[in-house]
Amino acid sequence: MPTDNGSADLDRLRRRKSRSDSSNGLLSDSVSGNGTSPSDDTGAPADEDAQGTANLAGDTGGERGGVEAFRPSVPAHRRVRESSLSSDAIFQQSHAGLFNLCLVLLIAVNGRLSIENLMTYGLLITPDFWFTSTSLRDWPLFMCCLSLPIFPLASFIVEQMVLQKHISETVVIILHIIITMSEVLYPVYVTLRCDSTFLSGNTLMLITCIVWLKLVSYAHTNYDMRALANSADDKANPEVSYYANLKSFAYFMVAPTLCYQPSYPRSPCIRKGWVARQFAKQVIFTGLIGCMTEQYINPIVRNSKHPLNGDLLYAIERMLKLSVPIVYVWLCWFYCFFHLWLNILAELLRFGDREFYKDWWNAKSVGEYWRMWNMPAHKWMARHVYFPCLRRKIPKVRYILVICNDRDYFMCFITLTLLSFFFQGSAMIISFFVSAVFHELLIGVPCRVFRLWAFMGIMFQVPLVFITNYLQERFGSMVGNMFFWFVFCILGQPMCVILYYHDMMNSKGSMS
């Protein structure tokens, strides 16, 4: 009968409630000793209150039992729990919903900015961004790029001569210095003499820097292998064998690496379909970079003022507005070059070691970012600059504090660098110094502006390394990562773009 079944269900619910209350210490000792043993709930899951409603509903027979489970006499609070956003529980659960919210807000904000940009400037994307009638004036840079293989060939001839004992070790060093210096000065001279576009000059200087780094690695590695081969030390590496092979050297010059070695790990085959898909992505993202540059970055930069001569609040507003498209362009460029292009080149050459970058976006400090975002350059710097400095007994890190006024800031900066370089320099400062020189070549020479903004921007990373290391040790990894993104997105790149643009426009105005 329905009435009997309902009474039985109610009695079963009360008995289960009594056992649950006894196990949680909610009943008196007399009740807990009259028929309920603590062992009745032994083995219950830790999340008892999460499954209690479902269990009660199943025991009482469906919907009627579920309603009975929420009687006022059933305990609603059974154990100590933390709020979901408390510091003890926030990292123990999924945040997929908040990530989706941030994604929706990102789409909404960027959609509004895109509509506002179109309403203000109209459609600015034209084919002139890639090729115009003035692009024909860049032919000397193209011819200079085609003539760069002369310098690797000269380096190979030098190594052949020393292998055959025709020249001494001192002469080898002098010849390699002349070759590498000529390889840099020749494209710089051509770029400065020709009225070329920034894109053409930047491409030529990028290729020049890559060839220079490869030539230095080739000369330094061969010098070290000769030293090990001529050494009587029993601890010399038996795998090192010095020989000058034109085939291995030519492979190194086109391989996606900056560190020379006679042989490299190779992949078994070339995946042609995979290469075609990656090349299609390369074309798409390259076009996306051009569109964002022409439509979003150029109008903001043209309508800005020099940040060091204008209103401070106006300069901050321009940098904040410019930071969003610049970060998008930089991320697309990173994906195009370090992921797509280097992997395409590695696949075509069957180059096996494809660790071209690590998860630099999770960097907890500025130093960790520089060790992770560009692995070919990091390996070259560690192999040919940092650890050779340590072997020369140059300390790793040195704390420096210099106070200078606004007028003499540049001379103080140069004096600081030279003093630390020649007298009590550190391996880290020397590494950043080499990196700063090449960043200035990549940006200053194509712009024909030598205010050393890129150089000082890279050298400014040295104190930031100490600051972010302190923040990481003092407050944890999240604070260091947030500070890194702030410097990377808002303070660094937008400021550098505005400074170089206005200095370049002022230089052209004074020349005309």
CB 490 within 8 A of CB 386: no
Greatest C-alpha distance within the chain: 112
Query: How many Cβ atoms sit within 10 Å of the Cβ of residue 285?
Result: 18
Helices assigned H by DSSP within 266-408: 272-292, 298-302, 312-334, 342-349, 366-372, 375-381, 387-391
C-alpha span between 135 and 132 (Å, rounded): 5
**Residue 284 structure tokens:** 């798409």
Among residues 176, 220, 384, 439, which one is catalytic? Answer: 439
Q: Write phi, then psi, for 139 (nearest 5 degrees).
A: -60, -30
**Residue 4 structure tokens:** 């009997």
**Residue 212 structure tokens:** 């220079």
C-alpha span between 29 and 22 (Å, rounded): 9
User: How remote is the C-alpha of 49 from its chain's centroid?
Assistant: 45
Identity at 293, one-letter amino acid code? T
**Residue 85 structure tokens:** 């956003």
439 is catalytic: yes
What is the SS3 assignment for 149?
A: coil
DSSP, res 439:
H
Identity at 85, one-letter amino acid code? L
Identity at 35, one-letter amino acid code? G
Identity at 151, one-letter amino acid code? F
Q: Which residue do the tokens 């154990």 mark?
A: 79
Q: Which residue do the tokens 């960790």 mark?
A: 368
What is the SS3 assignment for 355?
A: coil
Query: How many Cβ atoms sit within 10 Å of the Cβ of residue 378?
Result: 18
E strand or H helix at 113: helix 96-121
Report the chain's C-alpha Rg in angstroms.
Answer: 33
Residue positions annotated with a catalytic role: 439
